């Protein structure tokens, strides 16, 4: 293999396969395999009868680099439309939580507003037998509140001591992207993990609310509730199956002897594209569906039919934490939109706060592997100047996740992303997560206050370096 030129930077590379792209494989011999090193996926390929692109999905992955283990492939079979429909047929109490990114993807595809799409999805899912439909923007606000609190604590720790141990406090790195977390655990090892925020993603936060709080409040056994999320990303399926997000029944009975005592916060994940596939499978004219009232118990919908949320289509971590830290640490109220400066490319942007001529806060949005690998290198050698990094594995962030609906014929991927950015903010009333009445209620009744022991128990997690097996390394050798 030819070596890279010494002038080539990691930032010049882009290994992302967007939702609009297909993996193209040439003519191959029978039973041969092909490895796409850039995405760390390996698939058995049947010789194509023509030069048409070969479509590769998670089901084809053989974990050539240890990205997905054989045990995880069994798990993926449970993360399917068939399993979802089977759970309804078995009479389970099924609830669905929809991410705002998936809601925007379906809204853009059908030419609807996000609120219209939300109401029609409520009609559609309930027609299948789903009991309730919520969205994860409420749990996103809980995650943002905890992340704001965590950053302020870390910042104060970093200022209080010059000891080497304090250097792991900052930069704090967002933890909502499972693709980034998987890469960090399996490739970067223990040196990067202390910098990653311990706050769970909005998907797992709402799973914890359902299974650990609402079930107890409503006297429902957690294992009797089947919780499905709709996400823009296939890696969310792997995230839901992490052992860290599975817990045991607290008070098993004699009747539970033959029942698995372990309960997942999220039982199954469907992508935006899979929901579109389900709509087509059921031959539903989605645009003509009636609009059902939204289940407001865990949905960010105001009385005057607005979706309240935050700026930032990947969760708004950098912007929300920046505003909160400016106020909490330096007494600065920042009015109006934040102006992020582009560095190198549109997927790497930064913003800073100056107090008395000194830069006291410096945050960055870092999307895509070509950018995050350069940032990780700087952290490793101790030359990272940022206090917070919102890292997402996909270029353009979550709206461009691999599970999103593909562009229509004649529509470019760039045009689709621009459309999604616009649709995402329709009907949205920007609001401070700390003022979210649902989040306030959950703290008052359950979590006590941001950063409490209960909040750490239910809304935070740990990350672990993964040592690759000898077999995995031999596959790559």
Convert the pLDDT of each residue in 441-452 to its tens digit.
999 999 999 999
Give 462's pLDDT tier (boundaries 50, 70, 90): very high
pLDDT at 43: 40
Q: Residue 219: how many CB atoms within 10 A of its CB? A: 6
Q: Residues 297-333, buried b or exposed e (16+ Cβ, 10 A)?
A: ebbbbeeeeebbbbebbbbbbbbbbbbbbbebbeeee
Q: What is the CA radius of gyration of the chain?
A: 22
Q: Tell me: the pLDDT tens digits for 131-190?
A: 999 999 999 999 999 999 999 999 999 887 655 444 568 999 999 999 999 889 988 878
Domains of the chain: 1-68 (no CATH), 75-138+202-305 (3.40.50.1780), 142-199+310-434 (3.40.950.10)
Question: From CA 410, how far away is CA 413, in angstroms rounded?
Answer: 10
What's the mean pLDDT in 260-277? 91
Tell me which range, 42-56, 144-158, 216-230, 297-311, is most confidently predicted by mean pLDDT: 144-158
pLDDT at 52: 56
pLDDT at 438: 93
Q: With both helix axes pointing from N to C terminus, report the angle between 114-128 and 100-110 in degrees, rounded to the nearest 10.
A: 100
Judge residue 199's burial from the number of C-beta atoms within 10 Å of its C-beta, 0-12 exposed, 13-18 middle, 19 or more buried.
buried
Token reading at 166: 């304090």
Interior angle at CA 58, CA 76 and CA 20, nearest 5: 135
What's the mean pLDDT in 459-471? 79
Question: From CA 61, how far away is CA 73, in angstroms rounded?
Answer: 8
Report whether pLDDT(24) > 50: no
pLDDT at 278: 96
Percent of the chain predicted with pLDDT > 90: 59
Question: From CA 384, how far away is CA 274, in angstroms rounded?
Answer: 39
Give 32's pLDDT tier (boundaries 50, 70, 90): very low
Report whether pLDDT(228) > 50: yes
pLDDT at 8: 39
């Amino acid at each position: 293999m030819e070596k890279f030129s010494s002038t080539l930077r990691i930032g010049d590379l882009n290994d992302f396969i967007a939702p609009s792209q297909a993996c193209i494989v040439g003519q191959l011999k029978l039973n041969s395999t092909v490895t796409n090193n850039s995405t760390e996926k390996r698939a058995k390929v049947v010789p194509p009868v023509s030069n048409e692109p070969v479509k590769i999905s998670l089901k084809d992955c053989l974990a050539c680099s240890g990205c997905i283990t054989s045990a995880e492939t069994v798990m993926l079979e449970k993360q399917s439309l068939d399993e979802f429909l089977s759970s309804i047929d078995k009479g389970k109490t099924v609830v669905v939580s929809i991410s705002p990114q998936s809601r925007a993807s379906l809204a853009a595809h059908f030419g609807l507003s996000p609120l219209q799409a939300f109401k029609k999805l409520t009609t559609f899912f309930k027609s299948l037998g789903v009991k309730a439909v919520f969205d994860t923007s409420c749990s996103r606000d809980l995650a943002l509140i905890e992340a704001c609190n965590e950053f302020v604590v870390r910042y104060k720790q970093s200022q209080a001591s010059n000891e080497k141990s304090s250097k792991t406090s900052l930069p704090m790195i967002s933890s909502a992207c499972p693709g980034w977390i998987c890469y960090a655990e399996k490739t970067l090892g223990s040196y990067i993990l202390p910098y990653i925020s311990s706050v769970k993603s909005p998907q797992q936060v709402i799973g914890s609310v359902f299974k650990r709080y609402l079930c107890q409040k409503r006297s429902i056994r957690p294992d009797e509730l089947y919780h499905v999320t709709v996400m823009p990303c296939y890696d969310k399926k792997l995230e839901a199956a992490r052992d860290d997000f599975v817990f045991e029944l607290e008070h098993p009975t004699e009747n539970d002897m033959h029942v698995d005592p372990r309960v997942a916060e999220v039982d199954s994940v469907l992508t935006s594209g899979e929901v579109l596939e389900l709509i087509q499978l059921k031959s539903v004219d989605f645009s003509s569906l009636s609009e059902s009232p939204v289940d407001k118990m865990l949905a960010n919908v105001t009385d005057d039919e607005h979706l309240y949320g935050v700026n930032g289509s990947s969760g708004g971590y950098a912007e929300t934490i920046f505003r909160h830290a400016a106020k909490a640490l330096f007494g600065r109220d920042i009015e109006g939109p934040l102006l992020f400066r582009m560095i190198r490319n549109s997927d790497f942007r930064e913003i800073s706060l100056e107090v008395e001529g000194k830069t006291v806060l410096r945050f960055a949005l870092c999307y895509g592997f070509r950018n995050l690998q350069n940032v990780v290198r700087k952290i490793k050698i101790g030359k990272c100047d940022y206090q917070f990094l919102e890292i997402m594995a996909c270029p353009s962030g979550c709206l461009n996740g691999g599970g999103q609906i593909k562009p229509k014929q004649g529509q470019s991927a760039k045009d689709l992303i621009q459309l999604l950015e616009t649709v995402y903010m329709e009907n949205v009333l920007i609001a401070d997560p700390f003022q979210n009445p649902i989040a306030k209620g959950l703290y008052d009744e359950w979590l006590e206050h941001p950063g409490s022991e209960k909040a750490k128990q239910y809304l935070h997690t740990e990350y672990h370096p993964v040592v690759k097996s000898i077999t995995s390394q031999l596959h790559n050798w």
